[in-house]
Structure 1
Amino acid sequence: MHRCLKSVLVLPALAAASLLLTGFTWSFGKDKCASAIELAQKLPATTDELQRSRTETEILSLCSDGAAATYVQGVQAERAGNLDGAIAAYRRALQQEPNLAAANGSLGMLYQHKGLTDDAAVELTKALTSLRIPAYHKALGKVMTERRFYALALYHYGEVLRQAPDDAGAIAGQAEVYAAQGQIDRAMDEYRRALLLVPAHEQASLDLSRLYLQQNQPDKALDTLKKAVTANPRSAPLHLALGDLYDKRGDKQQAEYEWLLGGKKSAAAGTPAAQPGGIARGDQLAALGEIERAAEAYQSVLTEQPDAVIPYERLGTLYFKAGRDGDAITAYREASYRNSLNADVYYNLGRLYEKRSQLDEAIVSYKRAIERKPDHADARLKMADLRLSRGNVPEAIEQYVEFLKLKPESADIHLKLARIFLKNKQPSYAEDSYKAVLKLAPDNLEANRDLASIYRNKGENDKAIALYKKALQLQKDDAETRNALIALYVKEKQYDDLTVLLKQAVEIAPDDPNNHYKLGLIYDFNKDYENAIASYKSAIDLKADHARALNALGRVYMKSGRLSEAREALEAAKNADPNLVEASVLLNNIQDDFNPEPRKLTKKKGKSSKKSTAKKGSRTTKSKAPAKAATKPKKKNQ
């Protein structure tokens, strides 16, 4: 009986391991870096400067090389006026921890400040999924107004006012939306309400005075601007607007005085800034948001100088920022025809073409931007993305490499390049790129996992295991990483580590029957049958028809000689899954061991029929012996 059981029940190590390669759920205790992340998420809502400083110091001390610390570095760079450095730091922080909403918010605010409305909208929206910060709503409201999504703009301004009813900026933002929708009276009421709260509010004063002028109420416009410059005497836009208004009323002396306070040179000098239609005048009006008047100023230059390039460049930028894409394209084309040397003209034109899905034109524009300015990193990145999207991988790689020469701290582009190399079967280049990612962002999940896979394919299993373990620390429910680590533990015969991994899975998700089943398998493999039985039973308690756990339990009972219990478990396994072949095989062996004779009858039909005939003719062994003796002499005589 025992020989039969042994031949059926021996399982190869790899077969057992293959059953382990399914998902787990991970969740470890909070560490210092997790605490630092929590503190970082609270920073945007902290208004007390002393408290902010203390929090930043605590974050840096808790986890000096984590995502939260990188975020704090961005905050400090932004505070020092290094906006590009701040953007780079926020992006690195998000590479380390994609769910760091505070970094999304800060990045979105800077994008909005730089006029990158599409990028700002993405980052601010991500931030608001976790952090209901009024400043984020206000910035997104401004973005939506510029993009003419007025309903969304009003929603975000409304969210600000729900938390801070006296926020003059949000009230002025609502007024701007109402004005854009033609609700002039309502807009004027909102501007007045904002100025009651903050008399020095620059934009509300400028916008309200402009509306008064549109309504043919110049005295009210003048009164509004005078009150504004009294409350905000250092505002150059307010002084310039007041000077323009005095100029319209014929008070040249007062106009000159206000223009001087606003930083404008004397008109008597005859400089372009003083000319009503000059480039400088157009720039001033553009800064005040006077789109139409700025455009008229630029066009007045073209009346006298039709071949001038700069007015078209300025017009293109004016319309580009205002969201008037068609007018911007027309102006930028004119600048391009006149052989503009301004790389941003071609870069912005490329973005406009790309927005309209005119990809060939976009590629040409980005190429010309790079020709004008070889170190135009953003143009190279746009060119690389377009080349990649159209399947031109070699040129895409070339542009990504050139971009990284200009901005080597861009971990996200190193990661993209690594994946391109890996997809195109260039593992050595991919390895270098992944190492560059991990140098900039050691906690990048994808880089740790993908580089581990490269090492695993090269047979450098120790390195692969170290990186997979790091990846699991970063994302404890990463099934892909966990399965790869399990396979390596089996291959390297690190069964103790494997057992720890499986025990952790049970501790993390005790209600998952598969976790108990897989832990039972490793106990089973190590011949720890009592623990194996306990684990299989736990799986069955959670899921009564868990066919594989029932089958494994029956198999262990057979190994332990508990055949009646084995039969019960295996029959339950067969009922749960009629296609489970092993359960049927094991059941047949149990039946053979209970009644071995029928098994012999079915295997050797010829011999059994002979014996059956002999038994019918003779019932004793004595009658058989003479028969054999009688035949032997006869054989010799023949």
Structure 2
Amino acid sequence: MNFQKHILKSLAAFFIIWTFIIGGLLSTAQDLPPNEDLSLGASVFVFRSSGRTAQKKFVSANRTKRTKIQRLVAVKNIRKQYNNLAVVTTRRKRVKIVQPETVQIEVAKKSAKKSAKEASLALTGAAQFYYDNNEMDKSIDLYREAIDLDEKNSDAILGLSDALASKASDLLEKDKPQEARGLFDEAIKLNDKNSVAYSGLGEIYDSIDDNDKAILNYEKALALNSDLTELYAPLGILYSQKNEIAKAEDFLNKAIAINRKDASVQYFLGVVRFKQNRYEDARAALTQSTILDATMPEAHYYLGEVLVKLDRETEAIYEYKEAIRLKPTYVDAWFGLGAAEYKRENYVESIAAYTETNRLKNDIGAAHANLADAYRQLKEYGKANGEYTLAAVFIKDDAELYSNWGFCLGKVQKWNNAILRLNEGLALSADHIDYTNLGWAYYNASQIDLKSKLPQAKADGKAKLQQAEAALQKAVSIKNDFAPAYINLGITQNDLGEYQAAVDSLKRANELRKNSVFTINELGIAYRKLNDYDNAIKQFERAVVLNDKYAIGYYNLGEAQFRRRNVKEAKKAHEKLKKLDTNLAKALEILIIGAKMK
């Protein structure tokens, strides 16, 4: 019996990993893993997520917004559109265009022959000449002179407002927003209906991420001049950033109706569709954007995000790589690539992508956690523990992180640390899974103590078994149809010598998940501990029928048959065992021979 106990306990170092996917699946989600994943004497760990489950997401602090080039192009297009509208054309028709040389002579003679008002009109005509020829500095100077001569010259006042707005737009195109802002402000003081000036201020506020003021000025411009359709796109983008999706969609649809070949508008419409969970529509818009302009890394990135949502990871990986090719420091794309590779179970590639993510930006908790998960999948538990440690610096409220971390700590035999981490997860979640896993850790920690020769170790081991039992009792009280908790509970009760309780727990586990070889074998052990050989043999026979390569089952069957004095059946089990596991076969043989010698 002591030898048998030694054999059983020597196998307790093995872990059983049971993957349990939370939500979204039918009742079969709680099925136990394949039999070959199970080992005698161990307990069951429950993962919330499988390898192909989407990992933690990284929400970038960067806003989805127009690039500097896109904004500058918009400024140019708005000004061009404005100049083609009747508002300016009508005013030009009211003013006689005058050659500048003639104007200077006229002004020189004004004191003798001309009134100040007439001279002001002449200067206004000359200023308009320079405006039409895009010589804004000269135009502004002459408009100012005209106003000095006649402060009621409305054409000069409106013309100066236009010229100031035009020069400010030039400065915006040259990326000099601070200089431009003063001119736009002056233009509005002269003419509070100058839509170009409001539009320009909108661009400036947009560039510094002051969404509310940007929208206010854009909408003033559009209210003053509904023909400024170039404003649809920036307004749609800003409303998208404010998550006012209905308004965003309205403006972007208007922009698309005007110009379907605008790559940036297609891109932002795709982003809005993505936020609406309209993934096929988003894919269509973003694909069109990349066709119209293949050089936009953001479009490729978001197309990758959409394709992941559509379970098209292979295509998504291509888009993420395109985004990275165009912008090698694109953190979001590296992160997305890591997640897509993980979902495809390409863990080596996932590790490479997450490692680069962390090199570029090392304070993303989700990147460290996801990298740890990838290492865990490759059984590189030491590296996984290092990344979980870093992740926990940034993530304080994720029970799954602490659960996975606890598992990896257990895999490197740091059981006390594993218990600490699982308790941290329990404090955040406290559901049946957390209690089941805590029971798993206490059970396995107890096995280390029970094998120790230190005087206090045996008592510590029993105490941990009792803590395991308490945690597992809590798990089944929360969810009375959760098979893994009953399995762990039955195993723990076996080790505590509570054999009838173990039988009850393992029978319940077997009711919930029939044909689990591991559970059936453990139930047989519980009966065997009660010296109920008939029921024990029934369980062991059933186990090896379900899996005729289950060596532990044959060992237990042979031992039980021998104890029942059925030597012929014991030898049959021994013959089968010799083909499966020579060490166990020798152990059974020694048991039989030793008993015969006695």
TM-score clears 0.5: no
Q: State the TM-score, normalizing by the size of structure 2.
A: 0.41
- Alignment TM-score, normalising by the size of structure 1: 0.39
